[in-house]
Amino acid sequence: MSHQQPVDKPESRSAVVATLNQPGSTNGEVISSIDTYVPPKRTWKSYIWSTLDVDKEEARFLTKLDVTLITSAALGVMIRYLDQVNITNAFNSGMKEDLELYGNELNFANALWSAAYVFGQIPSNLLLTRVNAARYIAFLEFAWTAFTFGTSAVKNTNQLYALRFFVGLFEAGHFPAVMYVCSSYYKPHELARRNSLIQIFVSVGPLFSGFLMAAVYEGLDGVRGWPGWRWMYIICGAISLPCAVWTFFAMPQLPGRAKPNWIFTQAEIDLARARMPTEKKFFTGLFKWKDIKRWHTTWHVYLFPFYFLCAGQIGQAGGSMIFWVKSYNVKGKPNVFSVAEINIIPLGINVITIVGALTSSWISDSLPGSARWPSMVFAALVGIVIPAALGSTPVHPPNKGTRWALFYLTSLAGTAAGVTWTFVNETSRQDPEKRAYVGAMMNAFAYIFTAWIPIFTFPTSKQPYVNKGMFATSGFASAALLTALAIGYLDHRDKKRARLLGDSNDAKRDQESNSVPESPIDEDVKIGDLRG
């Protein structure tokens, strides 16, 4: 069965050649296939936004996607991080004293959240492709919102641990699912900025949480006999609920299973499938053992999760700032910083991360070949230098401003996440199942280690005197740097091989065209990933 590809019109017939075990094959037959995607010629408009560089019908469709898919995904990510990190703000705003959390209880609560988050990753991605994706993602948001409301009434550490576990369990599948749906609709040159827009809401959530805690503490502390930190969980739940409702109505189904609705017409669904031929398969993401074995012969399955694992530890350095600010308040002496200031001052890290992430994605899209690895290398270099500086200087220097500035600069180490997700989706674009698998592995590996490493590197009981943790962070950043360089090299090698194979096929087709009439290329071919 063949189909037309009406959107991109490559100037030459050079194609990327890849190999894939034929689906359903029992003898492991490897067949050649052609990836007909060639990035379109770009004008200056595309450097502002890709929608400005396409025809009216496609621009209308992409605008609808941006208004529905991107907004629901971004809001979902925001409330997920809001409900994930609010425990730190609550801890530093009275919960520690009310529940007598004077040991490493906060670390243990976060570890249980991380354990549940890891446990739910791959099963959730498997389930995603068997159900209505939009309804499933909305269900996850409704579920963790319910447990956020419940956290407002905890009376002891065991209840806190249980609720944090279930929040983590339902949050587990959200981010990989959102990234999967986005990569099913957007082409590679359209994806980086949109992924980064979603990714920056990872910082908007904590940013909002800090301001929210400050406002709630000032306005609701003591109302109806409840302390401010309990009211914060009520407010967080009240914010999350309408966002989940919007996801229920706005998040589109995967292209292969989409039907006309109040947003998208049948013509637009057909356009979505024509733009992304690999997404026509009705069921995608159904992992088979033979596929998993094949994927594990490629470098993507190992290096991307390892990079994410290391990069995930770099953010711990900036997370120490709120404890540093609070440490200036000494019992028996006038407070140096108010509760509002303790929650608000560290938010500068989130603001810089947001600006830096957007800048990183725009620069990455503008580099030759839309190179992704330089952004990853830059973030890792910052992760080496700044935490090392924090670890080698006094915790309370004569001039607070120097350490304050160093904490803010840790934000630059978190600017490559959106670009990294784009890179993953690009390198496995022609294999939707592998794309879902690698995405789940990335998140799972990052949180497997985040569940327990901070207990030793950044123990709550020793904050902010965590110099060893700062040096450990630099070590993880060094590993991330080497991994990013290896990824950049291997991706360049794969593309070079693909170009050589494509040129060989061009020459062969040109030779054949001299003896037989040219016929249209059948673009409905089995697409896979280049071995390596």
**Last residue in a domain, options 286, 318, 351:** 286
Higher pLDDT, 243 or 454: 243
Q: Is residue 34 part of a domain?
A: no
The number of C-alpha atoms within 13 Å of 336 and in the hemisphere containing its C-beta is: 10
Q: Which tokens hold the place of 526?
A: 């089995």
- Torsion, CA 123, CA 125, CA 127, CA 130, rounded to 10: -150
Q: Are 409 and 272 in contact (CB under 8 A)?
A: no
CB of 413 closer than 8 Å to CB of 315: yes
Q: Are 455 and 104 in contact (CB under 8 A)?
A: yes
Asked whether residue 50 carries a pLDDT value surpassing 80, the answer given is no
Q: Maximum CA pair distance of the chain?
A: 94
| Residue 166 lies in domain | 53-286
Q: Is residue 367 part of a domain?
A: yes
Question: Same domain for 202 and 305?
Answer: no
Helix (H) or strand (E) holding 20: strand 16-21
Q: How far apart are CA 16 and CA 87, in angstroms?
A: 48
Round to whole Å and give the CA distance between 108 and 357.
30
1 vs 291, more confident: 291
Is 485 part of a structural domain of the chain? yes
Residue 464 makes CB contacts below 8 A (sequence gap 6+) with 320, 321, 323, 324, 327, 395
Residue 179 lies in a domain: yes
Using DSSP's 3-state secondary structure scheme, residue 100 falls into coil
pLDDT at 438 over 80: yes
Number of domains in the chain: 2
Assign 3-state DSSP to the chain and report helix, strand, coil percentages, each to 5.
Answer: 70, 0, 25
Backbone angles phi, psi at 35, to 5 degrees: -90, 105
**Among 15, 35, 45, 34, which Cα is nearest to 365's?**
45
Cβ burial, residue 430 (10 Å; 0-12/13-18/19+) = buried
Which of 286, 308, 336 is where one domain is finished? 286
What pLDDT, on the 0 to 100 scale, is given for residue 495? 82
Q: Do both 261 and 395 map to the same domain? A: no
The answer to whether residues 305 and 379 belong to one domain is yes
Tokens encoding 237? 């739940």
For residues 379 and 442, state if they share a domain: yes
Other Cβ atoms within 10 Å of 115 Cβ, number = 18
More confident residue, 506 or 34: 506
Contacts of 21 (CB under 8 A, 6+ apart): 28, 29, 30, 290, 291, 294, 528
| Residue 44 belongs to a domain | no
Amino acid code (one letter) for 255: P
| Share of residues in the chain with pLDDT > 90 (%) | 17
Among 286, 321, 356, where does a domain finish? 286
In a domain, 249, yes or no: yes
Mean pLDDT of the chain: 77
266 pLDDT more than 50: yes
Query: DSSP labels for 458-488?
Result: S-GGGTT--HHHHHHHHHHHHHHHHHHHHHH
Residues in the chain: 532
- Is residue 229 in some structural domain? yes
Instruction: Read off the pLDDT of residues 156-178 as tens digits, 9 standing for 90 and up.
Output: 888 999 999 999 899 888 887 88
Mean pLDDT computed over 184-209: 74
In 64-76, which positions are buried (b, 16+ CB within 10 angstroms) versus exposed (e)?
bbbebbbbbbbbb
Structure tokens at 36: 């007909």
- In this structure, are 343 and 258 located in the same domain? no
- Give pLDDT, residue 2: 38
Listed in sequence order, the DSSP H helices in 345-431 are: 347-366, 373-391, 400-409, 417-427
What is the model's pLDDT at position 508?
Answer: 59
pLDDT for res 510: 54
Q: What is the pLDDT of residues 458-474, one digit of tens each?
A: 888 888 898 888 999 99
Lowest mean pLDDT among 45-49, 240-244, 323-327, 492-496: 45-49
Q: How many CA atoms lie within 13 A of 60 on its CB side?
A: 9
pLDDT band at 270 (very low <50, low <70, confident <90, very high): confident
- The answer on 328 and 212 residing in a single domain is no
pLDDT more than 70, % of the chain: 79
Same domain, 336 and 475: yes
Residues 6+ apart with CB under 8 A from 432: 184, 278, 279, 281, 284, 285
Q: Please report whether residue 509 resides in a domain.
A: no
Q: In the block, which residue shows the tokens 């992430």?
A: 357
Q: What are phi and psi of 30, to 5 degrees?
A: -105, 125
Mean pLDDT (whole number) for 56-79: 89
Same domain, 252 and 316: no
Q: Which helix (H) or strand (E) holds 246?
A: helix 228-250
Same domain, residue pair 282 and 403: no
Q: Element (H or E) spanning 236, and its range?
A: helix 228-250
Please provide the DSSP assignment of 161-176 as one string. HHHHHHHHHHHTTHHH
Do 379 and 481 share a domain, yes or no?
Answer: yes
Residue with token string 């398969």:
281
**Per-residue model confidence as pLDDT tens digits over 220-260:** 878 888 888 888 889 889 999 999 999 999 998 888 788 88
223 and 352 part of one domain: no
CB 261 within 8 A of CB 412: no
**Domain harbouring 469, CATH code:** 1.20.1250.20
**Are the C-beta atoms of 293 and 305 separated by less than 8 Å?**
no
Same domain? For 356 and 377 the reply is yes
Give me the pLDDT at residue 486, please.
94
Whether residue 464 is preceded by a cis peptide bond, meaning omega within 30 degrees of 0, is yes
